[in-house]
Structure 1
Amino acid sequence: MSYEMIAIFMFATMMAMLLTGQRVFGAIGFVAVIAALVLWGDRGGYDLAFSSAMKLMKWYPLLTLPMFIFMGYVLSESKIADDLYKMFHVWMGGLRGGLAIGTIGLMVLISAMNGLSVAGMAIGATIALPELLKRNYDKRMVTGVIQAGSSLGILVPPSVVLVLYAMIARQPVGQLWLAGIVPGLMMAALFILYIVVRCHFNPSLGPALSEEERAMPRAEKLALLRAGLLPVVIFATMMVPFVNGWTSLVESSAIGAITAFVAAVLKGRMTREVFENSVRMTLGISCMFMWIILAALAFGAVFDGLGAVNAIKDLFTDRLDLDPWVVLILMQLSFIIMGTFLDDTAMLVIVAPLYVPLVKALGFDLIWYGVLYTITTQIAYMTPPFGYNLFLMRAMAPPEITLKDIYGSILPFVLVMVFALSLVILFPQIALWLPNYVYGN
């Protein structure tokens, strides 16, 4: 059997196992080790799994993963995120669509606190959505706002998904995080621009709150502003030393975790229950990602040994005579198709052993491609009929929001994200300027 056929058989076996409901890391790791045993015998198969585990354990930036996850859960479990929404409610409620704009702002800050899109979705659906519906905001528009805003969690640092990509692609986590900042803020700005334009021409979609609803003494408004900006201060305390080169990425993650813990203690919200929940969920998420990375490294090692990447590159560029840009676009389209039935980590782990070396062989920048992958994953999350975020939203939304409403809400935001993706493809410096500036200095 040729190496190309072995590679195809490996992918087919892995997909068959995933369709039977097996865990992602179990299916991928099992196929990798069995393939190694068949190809290179007992010693080669065992060494592959062992060397992948040692490579993972020696990857120093992996320490950032539990630190940032813990920081996010502390801020979430201690209800500091609630203060954020109260701040946006008071300070922006007087604008047409002001609460929807504030929700996007909330999602950006939640992303900077947690790095997981599920956390943003949960907070948006439980805190923001009831308030928006109660104040007669259009249910389709606000449903789309929360889904689109929550997707920023995997792009704005500290993105956990970019940590996973960094390990698989063997790229610096710090550069990937910096590369995600400008595209993430640009996408948030485009969401806000869409809301402003829609509410300008149709004020009934996002009516401004009355003066009575926003009535509050100025001193209380300022106190609420300080409380709501606390996560911003925590993020700045963590990122400013890193960007200026005073601390390493791991040291900055520790500063973020400690600062969040101290803030929760000073506000009197660090109860035993909050601490136990934060530690338990941090441990669960961190272990899940470690198993996924371990499986991906083993799978990638088999592909390297087979030379499958060079064979596929030759197929596209030599036999089919496709332009590298056409191959890149086809790869992005495949992510959107896979996003109908897989989450972001599963998509990355399944195709990264093939796509990452192929991107490098085609001459593209792997930091830039990490941002492209992340934005495309965000789009796939919200693309009907089976987008991951669509069903998360259905599970968390109140009964009056139907699946039809959720499907109808997302189209304009998907178009905005496709526009943002196109800008990053056409102008790579949108993603690469900040990491080049910081690391160049």
Structure 2
Amino acid sequence: MSPEAIALVMFAGMIVLMLTGQRIFAMIGAVAAASALALYGNSAAELPFNAVFKLFSWYALLTLPLFIFMGHMMAKSGIAEDLYRMMHVWCGKLPGGLAMGTIFLMVIISAINGLSVAGLAIGSAIALPEMLRRGYDKVLITGVVQGGSTLGILLPPSVVMVLFSVIARQPVSELWLAGVLPGLMMAAVFAIYVYVRVKLNPSLAPKLSDEELNMPLREKILLLKAGIAPVVIFLLMIGLFVMGYTNLLESSAVGATAATVAAAWKRRLNFKLLVEAAHETMSVTAMFMWIVLGALAFSAVFDGIGAVRAIENIFIHNWELSPWAVIILMQLSFIVMGMFLDDTAMLVIVAPLYIPLVQRLDLGIDHQMAWFGILYTITCQIAYVTPPFGYNLFLMRGMAPKEITLIDIYRSIIPFALMMVLCIVLLMIFPQIATWLPSYFRG
């Protein structure tokens, strides 16, 4: 069989096995093992062992459990609930102020969390009931919570970016820096949408009561202390790393320690909280490790048969596509896959093909792989919220108040998914939005 045919069989086999609903890492590993045995015989038995040792040698993976622990500690210690009250008071006078405040809250949570699920849980448990009680349109605020929660994987310290950096073998610091401005841009686009929508139709977001609007300035300033802990954690973790005082692993340890100290400072740290955070940290970390291991085994076989070079010849030489046409095709395929797969499955499927191909494309962009990583990450955000299998949709259905139906959830996300696509287009037209900050700090 030709390399192209072998690659097609491998991809088709992996997709078919994934449709069975079994564990992703097991399906990827099964395809890799079967392909290796068919191609190389008994000598392929060394493949998983080599992948394991390669996995253990990747320094960046040590940060994963620390970042995940930090996120769970911040979510479970109630710090986000205090942040929401602060945003509610300070943004309440604006049209749709609570919804806009929820978006800003999601930005802050993203900056200390790195996960989408925690932001969604906080928003659905705290923000949704409060805004419903005040008469906000349920479709609007459901979209706000879902769209805002996806910012957790675009702003540092994004766990998805750490996984991408490991598989793509790129510095995670460049990816984090590249994600800052696109993440803030997307949050601003969401907030502008809410403001304009409510301005055109004020019934979507009734004004606050006079008692809430006329809170004394002294009490408002006292509420600002809710933002102290997240800001301190973020500055300690990201600031020390960017300034060169700590390396990546040390910064993740600083973040995890600071989150634990913050929970103790608020007198919410106890043994039960530590056990729950540790248990969820180990569960998520183990899942990530198995997926990366399966991806390494699959990539080893895929590279060994020369499939990447063969597909590159099809795109560039046979079809005579320009580098930008190739990137556009990749993004379209991401969006389609995102309707059926989660972010890790997408990355595992495309990593053997897309990442080497992007490295060979001459786009004239500084920090090209970091820029592509941001495009991939935004597409993951779209994957989280698009039917039929966007898992944020199902999480929202499980956590939202009973008056919000599945149809409301599906309707709510359409404008936010379109705004994410708009941000992808802007990043392709103006790649400097993602590359300026890495270039500035490198310079």
Query: TM-score if structure 1 supplies the norm length?
Result: 0.96
2:200 aligns with: 201
- Which letter maps to 2:414? L
State whether residues 341 and 389 of structure 2, in contact with CA within 8 Å, keep that contact through their aligned partners in structure 1: no
Note if contact 1:94-1:210 (Cα within 8 Å) is conserved in structure 2.
Answer: no
Query: After superposition, where does 1:370-381 map in structure 2 within 5 Å?
Result: 370-381=373-384
Q: Displacement of 1:37 after TM fit?
A: 2.1
Shift of 1:216: 4.3
Amino acid at match of 2:295: A
Q: Deviations over 1:308-341 (max 9, x none)?
A: 0111111112212222211211111111111112
CA shift, 1:388, in A, is 2.9
Greater than 6 Å deviation, 4+ residue runs: none
In structure 2, the residue corresponding to 1:412 is in which secondary structure?
A: helix
Residue equivalent to 1:32: 32
Counterparts of 1:42 and 1:79, CA distance in 2:
54
Counterpart residue type for residue 437 of structure 2 = L
Q: Tell me how far 1:220 sits from its aligned partner.
A: 3.6
Matches within 5 A, 1:332-351: 332-351=331-350
- In the alignment, is the contact (CA less than 8 A) between 2:340 and 2:388 conserved in 1? no
TM-score normalised over the length of structure 2: 0.96
Following superposition, the deviation at residue 49 of structure 1 comes to: 1.2
Tell me, what secondary structure is at the counterpart of 2:211? Answer: coil
The alpha carbon displacement at 1:407 in A equals 1.9
Give CA-to-partner distance per residue, 1:246-284, whole Å, 9 cap, x none.
Answer: 211111111111111111112111111111101111111
**Matches of 2:420 and 2:22 in 1, distance apart?**
32
Q: Is the 8 A contact 1:75 1:260 kept in 2?
A: yes
- Aligned AA for 2:411? G
The 8 Å contact of residues 242 and 248 in structure 1, kept in 2 or not, is answered as yes
What corresponds to 1:302 in structure 2? 301
SS at match of 1:398: coil
Asked whether 1:67 is paired with 2:66, we answer yes
- 2:14 matched to 1:14? yes
2:288 equivalent in structure 1: 289
**Bigger mean CA deviation after superposition, 99-108 or 412-421:** 412-421
Structure 2: how far apart are the matches of 1:428 and 1:95?
32
Q: 1:426 aligns with which of 415, 425, 429?
A: 429
Which residue is equivalent to 2:240?
241
2:386 paired with 1:383: yes
Amino acid at match of 2:187: A
Counterpart-to-counterpart distance in 1, 2:28 and 2:170: 22
- Contact kept? 1:339, 1:388, Cα under 8 Å: no
Q: Name the structure 2 match of 1:128.
A: 127
Paired residue secondary structure (1:268): coil
- Does the CA contact (< 8 Å) of 1:244 and 1:438 recur in 2? no
Once the 2 structures are TM-superposed, how far is the Cα of residue 303 of structure 1 from its aligned partner? Answer: 1.0
**2:162 partner amino acid:** V
* Residue type at the aligned position of 1:162: M
Distance of 1:389 and 1:282 partners within structure 2: 19
- For the 8 Å contact 2:341–2:383, the answer to whether it is kept is no
Unaligned runs of 5+ residues in structure 2 are none
Q: What is the CA–CA distance in structure 1 between the aligned matches of 2:201 and 2:318, rounded to whole Å?
A: 53
Give 3-state SS (helix, strand or coil) of 1:363's partner: coil
Aligned-pair Cα RMSD in Å: 1.4
Give unmatched runs, 5+ long, in structure 1: none
Q: Give 1:41's aligned amino acid.
A: G
Structure 2 counterpart of 1:417, from 420, 423, 426? 420
Contact 1:87 1:224 in 2 (8 A): yes
Q: Higher mean Cα deviation, 88-97 or 20-29?
A: 88-97
After TM superposition, the structure 1 stretch with the greater mean CA deviation from structure 2, 190-199 or 400-409, is 400-409
**Cα distance in structure 2, aligned partners of 1:195 and 1:345:** 31
Residues 159-195 of structure 1 deviation map (CA, whole Å, 9 limit, x = unaligned): 1111111111110111111111110011001111111
* Aligned-partner residue type, residue 419 of structure 1: L
2:361 alignment partner in structure 1: 362
Query: C-alpha separation between the residues in 1 aligned to 2:119 and 2:7?
Result: 37
Distance 1:196 1:150 in 2: 18
**Distance in 2 separating the partners of 1:24 and 1:360:** 26
1:270 aligned partner: 269
Please give the secondary structure, in 2, of the residue aligned with 1:101. Answer: helix
The one-letter code matched in structure 2 to 1:248 is: N
Q: Which moved more, 1:205-214 or 1:240-249?
A: 205-214
Deviation string 1:90-117 (CA, Å, 9 cap, x unpaired) is 2111222110011001111111222111
> How far apart are the structure 2 equivalents of 1:9 and 1:195?
46
Distance 1:348 1:421 in 2: 17
Q: Determine if contact 1:336/1:383 at 8 Å carries over to the other structure.
A: no
Matched-pair identity in %: 61
Residue of structure 1 equivalent to 2:257 = 258
Q: Which amino acid aligns with 1:374?
A: T
* SS at 1:322 equivalent: coil
Structure 1 CA distance for aligned equivalents of residues 159 and 141 of structure 2: 26
1:98-148 per-position Cα deviation (integer Å, ceiling 9, x unaligned): 100110011111112221111111111111001111111111110110111
Any idea what the Cα deviations from partners look like across 1:61-96, whole Å, max 9, x if unmatched?
A: 211111111111111111111111011112111222
Aligned-pair CA distance for 1:218: 4.0
Distance in 2 between residues matched to 1:187 and 1:284, nearest whole Å = 30
